[in-house]
């Protein structure tokens, strides 16, 4: 038969694949310093309903899938219910339609934050 090869096969481990994926999306995730800055800015309360029972990761106002970066201006402290509302998974905390969540957070950002992500 002979040594007929179209290309070479270089297998690499699952760990290497996972590292590759993390590296590619790193700039979209919030760093620990940015998370703390967002939580401190929002006084460790949900910006929508005021709850102290907050998620461990801020909400990306512009979704990562749509190019939203891991910046202070693109983050908001939320509780689980308000975070789900922002992603159209349930009604808002005061009965708002699920379709209004995303727009509310975008409006909040424009109304409340300067370009650096600090309160106006």
pLDDT in tens, 66-112: 999 999 999 999 999 999 999 999 999 999 999 999 999 999 999 99
Contact 59, 75 (CB under 8 A): yes
**Phi-psi domain of 90 (left: phi exceeds 0; alpha: psi -120 through 50; beta: other):** beta
Cβ partners under 8 Å of residue 29, min gap 6: 64, 70
Q: Quote the CA–CA distance of 90 and 97 in Å, as a whole number.
A: 8
Structure confidence by residue, pLDDT tens digits, 78-91: 999 999 999 999 99
Cβ partners under 8 Å of residue 68, min gap 6: 28, 60, 61, 62, 74
Which tokens is 5 given?
Answer: 């090869």
């Amino acid at each position: 038969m002979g040594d007929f090869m179209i290309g070479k096969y270089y297998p690499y481990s699952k760990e290497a694949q996972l590292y590759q994926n993390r590296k590619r999306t790193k700039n979209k995730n919030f760093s620990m310093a940015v998370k703390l800055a967002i939580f401190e800015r929002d006084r460790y309360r949900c910006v929508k309903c005021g709850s102290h029972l907050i998620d461990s990761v801020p909400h990306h106002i512009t979704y990562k899938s749509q190019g939203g970066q891991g910046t202070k201006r693109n983050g908001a402290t939320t509780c689980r219910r308000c975070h789900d509302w922002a992603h159209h998974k349930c009604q808002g905390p005061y009965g708002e339609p699920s379709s209004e969540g995303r727009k509310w957070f975008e409006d909040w950002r424009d109304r409340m934050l300067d370009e650096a992500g600090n309160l106006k």
